[in-house]
Amino acid sequence: MKLTDLDIIVTAPPAPGWGGRYWILVKLTTDNGITGWGECYAASVGLEAMQAVIRDVFARHMAGENPENIEKMFRRVYSSGFTQRPDLTVMGAFSGLEIACWDILGKARGRPVWALLGGKMNDRIRAYTYLYPLPHHDVTAFWTAPVMAAEAARDCVSRGYTAIKFDPAGPYTMRGGHMPGMRDIAQSVAFCKAIREAVGNRADLLFGTHGQFSTAGAIRLGRALEPYDPLWFEEPIPPDTVEEMAKVARAVRIPVATGERLTTRAEFAPVLRSGAASILQPALGRAGGIWECRKIAAMAEAYTAQMAPHLYAGPVEWAANIQLAACIPNLLMAETIETPFHDALIRSSIRVEEGFVTAPETPGLGIEVDEDLARAHPYTGDGLHLEMQEAPCDYVQGNAFEGGAPAPRD
């Protein structure tokens, strides 16, 4: 069995657009006709350039290879250009292709991917979700409205979720870490208070940030949130400043989580060694794929750290997350996004039920991709999947920021 063909489909989710502006899906085919699906997460270059990188990685390092040889292909890509160090774009391309290889291998053997990675540890995977506006909410006002957030939280709990994430502290700017304004701190506290009062002890609060604070700013904010006992304080400072993040972890009585923007165990290992985080959140479509993230999970075990695979993408990466989550002993939970489009794109083959996901028993990733639907929603814009704000923090009027891919208004 050899890898022969690559197809790339860029799909834009319709409004409200949760999961980013577009999803880069890859489809690999073998010489004996087996197809596998993968997804590359959050490219940091434009779509034409990223697709060229994906094609180059496949042609240079994977075409003609047996898809069983995951380790060999990873080492080729990791070493390409005389590097042997993490490269976010190249490894992002490989990650989606690697996921597709596992889909092929599972289908070839008639077994789910988790069965090829050590077997099933978790029959049901605890899921968490962002708080999103309910149908009657004003989409613009929602992100700065604690009362609406509390209402959305109650809805999530009524559907069985035991963990909910929100990130009211914005903005995420290209300027790096900043000191939060008092307005932003007060707003974050108000969100925590309203949501905690709404859900009581029925759900954990997951406080999301995206590397937007300085070390001192993160500590100041984190200490203000401590009375509401969030389960985690996500990526409080830029992800490449590991020792500074460790300072935050030591100063704040909330577990620190990080990993969405890291790639390969080379970047996760210092996080564990320094004590910068006790919860790792790799995005499988960027961090090296399923096998590399299985290694990261094993490293984390040695530090009693837990895994919470990240998702702000499409359902193919989600399916890979679920396969990994099913086979690791140090799973905390897995992120999920529920929209009709996510569900339809994989023909309802994986679903959240009462706040949990059951690991599929079907071969490969356990999904059936609706290829016609994927192709029927091409991306026609020129933005990136996610983007940082250029304007600095507004200390006068306060900040209202929806994240890196504001929802479409149509």
Residues known to be catalytic: 210, 310
Interhelix angle 242-251/264-274, rounded to 10 degrees, is: 40
φ, ψ for residue 115 (rounded to 5)?
A: -70, -20
CA 395 – CA 398 distance, rounded (Å): 6
CA 9 to chain centre: 19
Take residue 297 and report the two structure tokens written for it.
């999970």
CA 53 – CA 294 distance, rounded (Å): 25
Q: What is the dihedral of CA 341, 342, 346, 351, to 10 degrees?
A: -120
The answer to whether the beta carbons of residues 323 and 289 sit under 8 Å apart is no
CA 195 – CA 115 distance, rounded (Å): 39
The answer to whether the beta carbons of residues 204 and 163 sit under 8 Å apart is yes
Please list the residues that pair with 30 across neighbouring strands: 3
CA 299 – CA 279 distance, rounded (Å): 12
* Residue linked to tokens 């500590």: 219
Residue 232, exposed/middle/buried by CB under 10 A (0-12, 13-18, 19+)? buried
51-64 in b/e burial notation, b at 16+ Cβ within 10 A? bebbeebbeebbee
Q: One-letter amino acid identity for 35?
A: T
Q: Read off the DSSP letter of residue 123.
A: S
* CA distances to 11, 406, 409 from 345, in Å: 10, 22, 22
Please give the helix or strand (H or E) that residue 94 lies within, else none: helix 88-109
Residue 321, C-beta contacts closer than 8 angstroms, at least 6 positions apart: 284, 309, 310, 311, 334, 335
